[in-house]
Amino acid sequence: MTADPLNREEEKETGRIEAFSDGVFGIAVTLLILEIKIPQLADVPGKGSLAQALARQWPAYLSYLTSFLTVLIMWVNHHRLFRHIRRSDDSFLVLNGLLLMAVTVVPFPTAVLSLWFRTPETQTAAALYSGVFVAIAVLYNVLWGYAARRGRLLGKDHNRAEVAAITRQYRLGPLLYLIAFGLAFVSSAASVGVCAALAIYFALPGRK
């Protein structure tokens, strides 16, 4: 059977893309913690306690949680795509790279949001934050659209119903994050709340 070595070659190929992507997701998610500031001795000048200084940083913890959960969900989704994708080509590598670039950007808006959430500039921070998620959601659609169009990079035996379900579900992503982006100009809390709710919603079992 000449098909065997070929399949193995293909699997090795998508396997290396998956491994590289996993590495980038894993590092992006782990770097988030570096954006949480350590209260310095000088920041707690007699009149306060370390506990209060830590408590005062609550927007940083909420941003951390929301970003971590969101990137985690994205990783789960990436994982799911590669259950169907069996081949790769140069365009796919580049599109996947652009998606990874957007994912590695996440620590930046997370840190901006943490720092500026309770200032008059909070809406700009929330728009930046949800805007990055809009970009990521769009890039997921582009990547999947490229791979799935006429089954381009899917296995010959791919499950059409499941593929169509992913396509439908992914189309919702940019819309939902656009709502969060629009809300940023009204209320940054509402905008970030939608981002957090989306992460929790997609994390809950039952959605598949």
Q: Which residues bind its own copies (CB under 8 A)?
A: 16, 18-20, 22-36, 38-41, 44, 49-51, 54, 65, 68-69, 72, 75-76, 79, 89-91, 93-94, 97, 100-101, 104-105, 107-108, 111-112, 115-116, 119, 121, 124-125, 128, 203-208
For the CB of residue 5, give the shortest distance to its own copies in the complex, in Å: 11
For the CB of residue 6, give the shortest distance to its own copies in the complex, in Å: 13
**CA distances from residue 176 to 146, 179, 180, 183, 195 in whole angstroms, order as listed:** 22, 5, 7, 11, 9
For the CB of residue 179, give the shortest distance to its own copies in the complex, in Å: 21
Nearer to its own copies, 144 or 188 (CB): 188
160's tokens: 């059409």
φ/ψ region of 138 (left if φ > 0, alpha if ψ in -120 to 50, else beta) reads alpha
Nearer to its own copies, 23 or 56 (CB): 23
Q: At a CB cut-off of 8 Å and minimum separation 6, what does 195 contact?
A: 66, 70, 129, 130, 133, 177, 180
Nearer to its own copies, 100 or 137 (CB): 100
For the CB of residue 29, give the shortest distance to its own copies in the complex, in Å: 7
Nearer to its own copies, 15 or 172 (CB): 15
Measure the CA–CA gap between 113 and 46, rounded to whole angstroms.
28
Rg (CA), the chain: 20
